[in-house]
Structure 1
Amino acid sequence: MQCAHEQRWMISRRVFLRSAAGATLASLSCSPGNLSIRSQGSIRFGIVADCHYADADAVGTRFYRESLDKLAECVARMNAEGADFLIELGDLKDQDRRPVESRTLRYLQDVEAVLRTFQGPMYHVLGNHDMDSISKQQFLSHIENTGIDIARSYYSFDAKDLHCVVLDANYKAEGSDYDHGNFDWTDANIPAHELDWLRRDLAMSRGPVVVFIHQLLDGIGSVYVKNASEVRKVLQSSGRVFAVFQGHHHEGSYNHIHDIHYYTLKAMVEGHGPDSNSYAIVEAQPDHNVTITGYRKASSLELSGTRLSQIEPSPSCA
């Protein structure tokens, strides 16, 4: 039998949901494309990025205070669809214009409380804003990564036959941690000790692998990890990584490099009102088809090899 990483992975598309404002759980049960019906043995996980929650007035297109309600909708959808796990891709919280550590920690506690209403395993990726006025240790001590040591900012876990790797690029060029806003957000790096760990972890994996990270790995520029090309080489050489899920770039994006799909989820914080929400469900089938379903403004894509097609959203369910 052919190994999982030797099979062609295909990401097929489910419809894009635009549910009515103030959607209830009853309306959430009306899933696009009968998403609740899954193939035996498939795995389904939820992703959300860039909540940036703070009890603060909007600045530009960022509506910080609205992220609690948006996230509650996301979690309700994940529960209704029976997601096997939920992972947030960084920048879970934000801060006041004049940062106060105690208030920042309260914002983190409030948004984490919403996430914890998810009825399954839950995981976090660290984003730069998660250390804007607190330390990594403070952030990690106020959140829960199911089954993961509280001190770990990068780690891996298995979900059915899928191996999941969470990376932390919140290190300055010389290798020190982001801490209390002591960083330039464009200086994101995966340090040597984390790369060594990544090589070992991938070498021990026996099945297909997905990677989760906040800053982007698929290019060069301010929103990308500085040593992204080095990280990509590690992923490519393993022969098992088929997809990377990212946040940070609020507009979202897609790329395909050396048989690995790079999907950047649009930010939840951007835009006023429920229709500006953004989250997605990814489902991997036993036959090696994978479905990404984007909700509200998140993109639903059809990927086959190096081809990408973006399908027009279907009407909302009645």
Structure 2
Amino acid sequence: MLKRRNFLKHLGLSGTGLLLAGRSLSVPMPPSAAGAAKLRIGVISDLHHLQFGKSEEPRLKAFMDDVVKVKPDFIIQCGDFCRPKGSDGIMKEWNRFSGPKYHVLGNHDMDVCDKATIMKLWGMEQRYYSFDQGGYHFVIMDRNFLQEDDKTLVDYNNSNWGPLPSPKRSFTDAAQLEWLKQDLAAAKYPVIVFMHQPVFLSDFYTELGNADEILSIFDTANFAASQKGSNNAVRAVFMGHDHDDRYGIRNNVHYFLLNSATYVYTESGAHFYADSLFAFITLDPSGWLHIEGRSTRYRDTVPDQIKAQFPTSISDRHIQLQAHSK
């Protein structure tokens, strides 16, 4: 993993993309519906309960304790959450919140089962879906398909992606892509997307699957919105999987990599964080997006190279989402 961190030269960031550093950013979107209230979202990603045979209930409890205090409008986990067995405590913690709760499928959620099994545990009716709330349209995607030699796509199932080379991983099926096109075209509000595997900003540039098709769909939808003068463009995309903390802009869409709640994995193994990482996102009626993240340190001693390269935080950010002008 470490030797794949020189990724910027592979992403073509000049022109269509811009990677920005720092904790406080501002780039200008039109306000949501007049008189609308702030929308608060609690988000946690890559908990990896039992990934190494270790319970991560205390990390989820830390998140849920804050959720109970903050009382967000909904909470969402962005993939690699838990396993179908040994997760009763995880689900009990998760269900302490009585409000709406949403799930994103991650690759490790199918380490020992198929999608239907983990979805049943979570009460997740569809593997991809969308909903409206607080003047925004939210889209949840499933990028957990592998590509076989004949180019057909197969669901992630019982770690079947593990032995495959990275270019065969992290694909999205054709039916979902067609649904995405239609869903974005029909959206009545600014769009916020959640997915597990990134389509942008990732160091794992050989493991992006058909990310280019998804980015093209976003581009096309946003161009159509700009031509109509409508406000239903894709504004922000939240992604997990990489266990990193990054932000960047591509074609006026704001992309966020959400750090793992638990650890970073390098060639030297898993390096655990001392405390749980998670965030609260606020969508303000004025058009501002605020992220209130958490910071910690490494639980054990790690080389300075790892400290320098892998942040133990989800950064606070303050961003105004920009509309496309006609």
Distance apart, 1:301 and its partner CA: 2.2
Provide the aligned C-alpha RMSD in A.
2.4
CA distance in 1, matches of 2:60, 2:160: 28
The corresponding residue for 2:213 is 230
The corresponding residue for 2:141 is 167
TM-score calculated relative to the size of structure 1: 0.72
- Report the CA distance shift for 1:43/1:111 in structure 2 as closer, same or farther (over 3 A): same
Q: 2:314 aligns with which of 295, 298, 312?
A: 298
The corresponding residue for 2:257 is 264
The corresponding residue for 2:189 is 207
The corresponding residue for 1:128 is 107
Distance apart, 1:226 and its partner CA: 1.3
Distance apart, 1:163 and its partner CA: 0.7
- Report the CA distance shift for 1:55/1:254 in structure 2 as closer, same or farther (over 3 A): closer
Secondary structure of the residue aligned to 1:217 is coil
**C-alpha offsets along residues 44-86 of structure 1, whole Å, 9 cap, x if unaligned?**
10110000001855xxxxxx42x21111111121221120000
Alignment of 1:123-162 (within 5 A): 123-145=102-124, 150=125, 152-162=126-136
Q: Which stretches in structure 2 are left out of the alignment for 5+ residues?
A: 1-21, 25-34, 223-232, 264-270, 296-312
Answer whether contact 1:217 1:224 (CA < 8 A) is retained. Answer: no
- Report the CA distance shift for 1:229/1:276 in structure 2 as closer, same or farther (over 3 A): same
Answer whether contact 1:13 1:291 (CA < 8 A) is retained. Answer: no
The answer to whether the aligner puts 1:287 opposite 2:286 as a matched pair is yes
- Report the CA distance shift for 1:79/1:223 in structure 2 as closer, same or farther (over 3 A): farther
Secondary structure of the residue aligned to 2:189 is coil
Secondary structure of the residue aligned to 1:238 is helix
Which structure exhibits the higher relative contact order, with contacts defined as CA atoms closer than 8 Å and separated by 6 or more residues? 1
- What percent identity do the matched residue pairs reach? 28
The corresponding residue for 1:18 is none
CA distance in 2, matches of 1:107, 1:293: 31
The corresponding residue for 1:114 is 93
CA distance in 2, matches of 1:108, 1:127: 16
**C-alpha offsets along residues 181-200 of structure 1, whole Å, 9 cap, x if unaligned?**
11147311011111000001
Q: 1:51 aligns with which of 33, 44, 47?
A: 47
Answer whether contact 1:171 1:178 (CA < 8 A) is retained. Answer: yes
Alignment of 1:1-20 (within 5 A): none
Q: 1:84 aligns with which of 48, 65, 73?
A: 73
Answer whether contact 1:123 1:144 (CA < 8 A) is retained. Answer: no
CA distance in 1, matches of 2:85, 2:207: 29
CA distance in 2, matches of 1:159, 1:13: 27
- Report the CA distance shift for 1:175/1:55 in structure 2 as closer, same or farther (over 3 A): closer
Aligned partner of 1:87: which letter? I
The corresponding residue for 2:27 is none
Alignment of 1:191-202 (within 5 A): 191-202=173-184
Secondary structure of the residue aligned to 1:176 is strand
The answer to whether the aligner puts 1:247 opposite 2:230 as a matched pair is no
Segments of 4+ moved more than 6 angstroms: none
- Report the CA distance shift for 1:183/1:272 in structure 2 as closer, same or farther (over 3 A): closer
Q: Which stretches in structure 1 are left out of the alignment for 5+ residues?
A: 1-11, 15-38, 58-63, 94-103, 307-318
- Report the CA distance shift for 1:231/1:272 in structure 2 as closer, same or farther (over 3 A): closer
**C-alpha offsets along residues 237-288 of structure 1, whole Å, 9 cap, x if unaligned?**
2221110001100122222100111111110121556x43110111111111
- Report the CA distance shift for 1:44/1:304 in structure 2 as closer, same or farther (over 3 A): closer
Q: How many residues of Structure 1 are paired with residues of Structure 2 in the alignment?
A: 248
The answer to whether the aligner puts 1:276 opposite 2:258 as a matched pair is no
Aligned partner of 1:199: which letter? K
Distance apart, 1:160 and its partner CA: 2.1
Aligned partner of 1:237: which letter? T
- Report the CA distance shift for 1:135/1:108 in structure 2 as closer, same or farther (over 3 A): farther
**C-alpha offsets along residues 125-176 of structure 1, whole Å, 9 cap, x if unaligned?**
000000011000101111024xxxx2x1111111121110000000112211
